[in-house]
Amino acid sequence: MYPEQLVAPMRTDLTSAGFAELKTPEEVDNYLKDKKGTTLLVINSVCGCAAGAARPGVKWALQSSPKKPTNLATVFAGVDKEAVSKAREYTLPYPPSSPSIALFKDGELVHFVERHHIEGRNAQMIGQHLVEVFDEFC
């Protein structure tokens, strides 16, 4: 588990962009279960690909896309272990991956971006991909 003072700026990176932070399994269930509309869930991480590509790419997509998810949420891998475990139940059959980005429509997982799709790509590439995903599902 990472110390809170280390991850606080990484949490703020998404919460300041309007993401609800889910820290417990109950919060994850309450937020995701039977949710209407589209929900973007970012499984955040301290790694470099989260800082350099995932978080900035997600924010770029939300600023650039004419279509946007209705709901925004995040959990933090390596910090809020139980919340992340619960979130990963919703992203099955995909294996655990962080960072990662999930899009749900009316409670059903419709798109998932795994870590290996984030690594080696820049923020704009991630963002452009998400814009296309939002255009299809939102």
Phi-psi region of 73 (alpha: psi -120 to 50; beta: other; left: phi over 0): beta
Half-sphere exposure of 126 (CA within 13 A, CB side): 30
DSSP 74: E
| pLDDT digit string, tens, across residues 59-98 | 999 999 999 999 999 999 999 999 999 999 999 999 999 9
Q: Is the pLDDT of residue 2 over 90?
A: no
CA dist., res. 72 & res. 9, Å (int)? 18
**pLDDT reported for residue 5:** 85
**pLDDT reported for residue 55:** 97
- The predicted model gives 23-44 an average pLDDT of 96
Q: Per the structure block, which two tokens stand in for 61? A: 């997509």
pTM, whole model, 2 decimals? 0.95
In whole angstroms, what separates CA 130 from the centre of its chain? 11
Which active-site residues does the annotation give? 47, 49
**pLDDT reported for residue 36:** 93
List strand residue ranges (DSSP E) for 1-138, in order. Answer: 20-21, 38-44, 71-76, 100-105, 108-113
**pLDDT reported for residue 4:** 85
Q: Is the pLDDT of residue 1 over 80?
A: no
| pLDDT digit string, tens, across residues 7-21 | 999 999 999 999 999
| pLDDT digit string, tens, across residues 95-138 | 999 999 999 999 999 999 999 999 999 999 999 999 999 999 99
Q: Per the structure block, which two tokens stand in for 62? A: 């939300």
